[in-house]
Structure 1
Amino acid sequence: MKKYLKPLFTLVLIPLAILLAGCNSEGAFTRGEIHKPQVTATLIEITVTPTPVLMLKGRTQQLVAIAKYDDGTEVDVSNSVIWEIVGDPTTTQLSPIGLLTALNAGTTELMAAKDGISSNLVNVIVCDNLAAQCIDTIDAGNGKLFTSSPSVTYLDSIGGSATDGQYSGDEISSPLGSFYTFNLASAHALCATYNTQNLAGRSNWRLASRDELKTELYDMYGNMFNRLGWPNHFQYWSETTPDPGIPANYAVSLTYGNIMRVDTSLVRSVSCVSNP
């Protein structure tokens, strides 16, 4: 009988030792616990992003509410705040977890509150199409965002950026309205402007590459005007150059998917990209 007790005792001790060691390991079971405020911490501020929100009718936008406590902790409380539309209630619909749905063109405002603390007031603009005061930022997957090329109305509304012309949409390849065009230098400057503006709550915008435009946009969505209402009259600049010694970069058509070498002094449309 005794010869079986020692192995059995050993079998019990080994799992117990592993369990106890795990309890003392950083991040064991609930790694998120280290981000929670102390029990005695006081909520002092709530910040909602992105702000402002520019949306096309029918689109959705997830809002994020970050709570700051007096112990320096910052916590995502998007699921526990009280979301409220304080402007025109017919423009948008807001879910209990901060998912905003654009219903009708117009403007409104919203905010979030928790434990008696109210957030910043967020301005929301809903547009019928991209010729108005809106820009599209689509998520191509894993939080990677691409912008549509800006209308005159939108870019002027944020203070402008270097441009090299404009054209009028014809409802065949672009919405009715006016859109700016850019040479390559101005295209890079536009992405830098978005960084300054903290577009969509981000400051790492850059010019998209040839493969990103072709594979992640055109191959995924097809004709971007037909699918998402993007202005497609011109091809879109890429940051990819065929030869560093030649003043030309690749440009990609988001209407047909073809790729061309284009002199950097000529004008095209621009999509900037941001990785999460």
Structure 2
Amino acid sequence: MTLRDLRLPLTLLVAALAGCSQGDAPATNNAAPSAYAAVARGRIDIEGGLLKLTMPSEGVVAQIGAHEGDHVHKGQVLVQLDQEPAKLALDSALAEQQQATAQIGSLDVRAKSAALRASRLEQAAKAGAGDMQSADDARDAANQAEAALTNARATVALAEQKVSGARYQLSLRTLRAPSDGEVVQRAVQLGASVSPASGPVFSVLPDSPRIVRAELNESFVGVVHDGMAAEVDDDSGSGMAPLKAHVLRIGNVFGASTLEDDPQVRANTRSVECVLTLDQQPSTPLRIGQRVLVKFAPK
């Protein structure tokens, strides 16, 4: 019989542990009760997972600001596309804005002058020193000058919107790190043509506290609760020292096991995701996806 044949799947251990937790009589008087209320497989993770960053605009890569393994800071440039097309569009929008703004001054002077002339002619007509037709014509001219000024102001506002849009398009040609973290993958080269549909160009692991996502067997759903203390042990051969943790939340959806090695057991096991937070982050960084064994302590 090989060592593999002697190894029991976790589900058998879970079933045995469940039997002990339900008060089954021990086989012998010397058998010690289980020190844990439940045991589950888990893996190290972070809230939200890795950041998969895609370029928000299409273009040709002109600059790469980070490489795999680099630690980046929030706002640091990761990728910059060729800026020339966006700069030309911005320059054009700025020129339109300047032209529209220049017309405001002359139209404002013309509108004020027309309004003043219309007012004087109206007063003269009322005093009998002028005719009403001239006063009416002056008022129409004043209204037209005011309408032209209003249109010019609307044109300036539209030009300002175009400038803002051009600046925004220019900003989209630069990909920046959304948070502090480590670059775990770079999938772009200088001179490459990229677009939002090209997929992630950078994968960043944020500097966030590590958590544990455990697969809680359905037989233990009623045993484990929020805030429950637990011990996280190494299950991947990395030599990690045991870590103290507590239950952050327990899922409400059953699913198939993804961490069980035996395909038959994996297909027939239903589990609920149980998220735990570590009471203290270890000095040695934990790797995302690292397998662990979670032992839930009884009250």
Q: Normalized against structure 1, the TM-score is what?
A: 0.25
Q: From the two aligned structures, give the one with the greater helix fraction.
A: 2
The one of the two structures with greater contact order (alpha-carbon pairs below 8 A, sep at least 6) is: 2
TM-score, normalisation: structure 2: 0.24
